[in-house]
Structure 1
Amino acid sequence: MRAIWKGAVTFGLVNVPVKVYSATEDHDIALHQVHDKDGGRIRYQRRCEVCGKVVTYDHIDKAYDDGEQTVVLTEEDFAALPAERSREVEVVEFVPSDEIDPIMFDRSYFLEPDGSSSKAYVLLRRTLEATDRTAIVRFALRQKTRLGALRVRGDVIMLQSLLWDDEVREARFPALEDTVRISAKELEMSEALVESFSSRFRPDAFTDEYQTQLRQLIEAKLEQGDALDTDATFGIQAEDDGGGETIDLMEALRRSVERTRAGGDSATA
């Protein structure tokens, strides 16, 4: 991994020099667009509408238009902002970890101690663990002032950027509690269904089936060309055994519980 940023976590007079690394990566297969008639690659050009020339990235600035005037902002303008120049991840408060709604989480980063001494880093990590607290921080990264959370994952401190409060939409749907009646038996059966699916979460037990099948399709087309038989490659998909039958909610719950329990019994036999 390559560090994308260097700075320091600060709380009180304590200073923790760190390197910042992206904690996640995209595993999707890279595809590009082509002309369906001849396979020619489709490319997009950054063409200036004034002079008509194609412009490279190093000659592109950003601008704001309020409808009457346009203000051009250069890289030097952005770099001059005090928040952008700051290399501090400033702790503003420590909060109980369960008070942060998961919808607030955005990007994840690993923090590595930077410098000859890692004592302050280890102290912060152990303090977060011992108090079961999450540090709420402010920092600037890639031309944005961000809110973040410091938490522990294994032996590493993680920085997770948080959405600002006004970036999370409010969901306003018609009230259902006054119009929908749930019987005690339906709730009991639904809870039994949840219990039958209960397990410990193991991320490594799941794979991206779409990307696996896409890679299989690409490899098959490389071997067979456009004459590829997709039914032979992937097999004929089984029809839904529901047969279009309409069943009520209680019956659907009962059948689901029975099917799940039967599957569990056969797996342990």
Structure 2
Amino acid sequence: MRAIGKRVIAFGLVNVPVKIYSATEDHDISLHQVHDKDGGRIRYQRRCEIDGDIVPYEHILKAYDAGDRTVVLTDEDMKSLPEERSNEIEVVEFVPDDQVDPIMFERSYFLEPDSKSAKAYVLLRKTLEETNRTAIVKFALRQKTRLGALRVRDGVLMLQGLLWADEVRTADFPSLSADVRITEKELEMSSKLVASYESDFSPEKFEDDYQAQLEQLIDAKLEQGDALDTEATFGEESEGAKGEVLDLMEALRRSVERNRSGGKTSSGKASGKTASRTSSSGKSTSSKSTSSKSTSSKSTGSRGGSRSGSGAKRERASSSKPRKKAG
């Protein structure tokens, strides 16, 4: 993991320097958009509505629409906000663990000691564990002042962003206000049904079947050669000419010539990778996914064992040419 920043937890006269790491990651396969007629990449451009120019990021400012007027905020304006400059995670109170409603949780971060001595870090961790308390904190991250909960997970301090009170909606459903009569027999039968499903929660038992099947579908299409050569089709994107690609017909012609000459890089590189991938769901790629093409059976099979996000990434990394993700 790579740290995304440094902060100092401050409560009373105690300061705890820490590094911040994202505690979660997205395992979804990234897809981009192409033209259905010719496979050309669809790119979004930041175009000014007044002069029609494409504007680079360094010339883009933030603005607030006030109706008949617009307030433009410069980079200097944003930097002038005191929260923007603060590197403190300020503890404002300690509350019982069960008083923080999970509906308020946002993104989670791991905190690592950032000093030669971890004594202050360990002291805060043990205090939270012994008192069964959660620290409510204020901190600045990515240009926002945030509310957070500081708690302990597996011996590590964790910072979880919290929604502000006015960001949580109230569920007011008239249908629930009606007087509904539940008999003892119905409640007994419902309780028995719940008992039949009782278990200890182990997230490793569950898999994202959609992503697994999507990966099987992509591998099958690579195996059967139903793919474009990315570099030949879209070209290498240079710093000075972003969004500029090869002439599409020329790119397609070069791809066809490469395949005819025996350099079928797409299918060749896919075969080794596809053979190493199996599905824990035990499902082969559906006939709808591959239509009448029979090669899906070559690239799909049973994926043995649990397919964790990190395991799948290691498998993809072992491929000689990983699939490029959307920019």
Q: Same fold (TM over 0.5)?
A: yes
The corresponding residue for 2:207 is 207
Secondary structure class of the residue paired with 1:15: strand
Structure 2 partner of 1:71 = 71
Alpha-carbon distance in 1 for matches of 2:189, 2:121? 49
- 2:176 is paired with a residue of what secondary structure? coil
Q: Distance in 2 between matches of 1:231 and 1:155?
A: 52
Q: What pairs with 1:8-157 in structure 2 (closer than 5 Å)?
A: 8-157=8-157
For 1:229, the aligned partner's letter is: S
Tell me the SS of whatever aligns to 1:18. strand
CA distance in 1, matches of 2:144, 2:184: 50
**More displaced, 67-76 or 100-109?**
67-76
Report the 3-state secondary structure (helix = DSSP H, G, I; strand = E; otherwise coil) of the residue aligned with 1:148.
strand
Deviation at 1:76, TM superposition (A): 1.9
Q: Shift of the alpha carbon at 1:7?
A: 1.3
Residue in 2 that maps onto 1:229: 291
Considering only aligned residues, what root-mean-square deviation do their CA atoms show, in Å?
A: 1.9
Secondary structure, aligned partner of 2:174: coil
Find the counterpart in structure 2 of residue 255 from structure 1.
Answer: none
Distance apart, 1:29 and its partner CA? 0.2
Residues 123 and 220 of structure 1: is their aligned pair in 2 closer, same or farther, counting only changes over 3 Å? same
1:178 CA drift (Å) = 3.5
In the aligned structure 2, how far is the partner of 1:24 from the partner of 1:229? 36
TM-score normalised by structure 2 residue count: 0.69
C-alpha separation between the residues in 2 aligned to 1:231 and 1:172? 52
1:35-69 CA distances to partner (integer Å, 9 max, x unpaired)?
Answer: 11111111111011122111111111111121222
Instruction: Tell me which residue corresponds to 1:5.
Output: 5
User: Which whole-Å CA distance do the structure 1 matches of 2:21 and 2:74 have between them?
Assistant: 27
Return the offset for 1:11: 0.7
Give the distance between the partners of 1:230 and 1:193, measured in 2 at CA.
43
Q: CA deviation at 1:208?
A: 0.8
Q: How many aligned positions are there?
A: 235
* Superposed displacement of residue 100, structure 1: 0.8
Unaligned runs of 5+ in 1: 236-269
Deviation at 1:187, TM superposition (A): 0.8
Q: 1:116 to 1:196 in 2, by over 3 A?
A: same
Which digits, 9 at most, give the CA deviation of each residue in 1:134-165, with x for residues without a partner? 00001111111110000101121000000000
Q: Distance in 2 between matches of 1:101 and 1:195?
A: 26
Shift of 1:228: 2.5
Q: CA deviation at 1:230?
A: 7.5
Distance 2:76 2:102 in 1: 36
Which amino acid letter does the alignment assign opposite residue 214 of structure 1? L
Corresponding residue for residue 216 of structure 1: 216
